[in-house]
Amino acid sequence: MSTRDELLRLLEPPAEKWVPPAPDEIVHAYGTPLPADFLWLMETYGPGLISDYLGILAPVRASEVGETFGVLSTAAIEQEGLEGIEPEYLVQGGLVLWGYTPDGDNAFWSTTGEPDEWRVVTFRRHHGPREPAVTRFDCGIVEFLVRTFQGSLPHNPLSGTDLWGNASPTFCRD
C-alpha cells in the first residue's frame, strides 16, 4: 500500500474538494514549485485542521502573499527558542512553514534540494529536557502524517499527543 493510500485509509478526506492555485501561480508566489506530495494533500484534503490540533496551511497565489495566512517562507532564527541552534538543514536552504499547533509548535520543510527532496522539520515548543526542540524527519509531509498517526517516528514530533498513535484522526476545513 502506498503512503497516500495509507493516509486515505487513516484520514477521511472531505467530500468537497479544495482547488489549489495553479502550478504557475505557486511558482510565481514562492519562486519555486512546492513538493508534489503537499500538492496532492491540498487537492485531496485542502487546508484545515487534523483532529482539531494540527493546522495545515494553504499555498497562496502571488496576489495573496502578505494578504492572507498560508504557506510561509521563514528563517530558523525567527523562531523563538531556536537561537544558537543551527543544524545544517536549518541554514542551507531556509525553512518554509506549512503547519502549526495550538501548543505553539511549527512544522516546516527544510528547502535543501529540489522540492520533492524537501524534508519535514518540526519545532516543539514543549519538550522534555532530554528531547530535541527541533527535529528533521527524513520524509515528506504525507509520510510524516502517516508515521505520526502510526506512532512510528523516532519520537512524537509535536508537543501534544492528539495525533501521536491516533488510529482515527479527523479532518475539517478551516
Residue 57 placed within a domain: yes
Residue 38 placed within a domain: yes
Q: Write the pLDDT tens digit of every residue in 84-142.
A: 444 444 444 578 889 999 999 999 998 888 999 999 999 888 877 777 778 899 999 99
Cell numbers at residue 155, please? 519520537
Residue 98 placed within a domain: yes
Residue 169 placed within a domain: no
The predicted pLDDT at position 94 comes to 76
The answer to whether the beta carbons of residues 46 and 18 sit under 8 Å apart is yes
Domain count, the chain: 1
Any idea which residue has 484520514 for its cell?
A: 11
Residue 170 placed within a domain: no
How do the residues of the chain divide into helix, strand and coil, expressed in percent and rounded to 5?
30, 20, 55
Q: Which of 138, 131, 133 is nearest to 113 (CA)?
A: 138
Residue 173 placed within a domain: no
The predicted pLDDT at position 148 comes to 98
Residue 171 placed within a domain: no
- Alpha carbon distance 40, 20 (integer Å): 10
The predicted pLDDT at position 132 comes to 76
The predicted pLDDT at position 122 comes to 93
The predicted pLDDT at position 77 comes to 42
- Report field, pTM of the whole predicted structure over 0.85: yes
Residue 94 placed within a domain: yes
- Alpha carbon distance 57, 43 (integer Å): 13
Q: Which domain holds residue 28?
A: 3-77+86-164
Task: For residue 29, give the CATH number of its domain.
Answer: 3.40.1580
Q: Write the pLDDT tens digit of every residue in 8-43.
A: 999 999 999 999 999 999 888 888 899 999 999 999
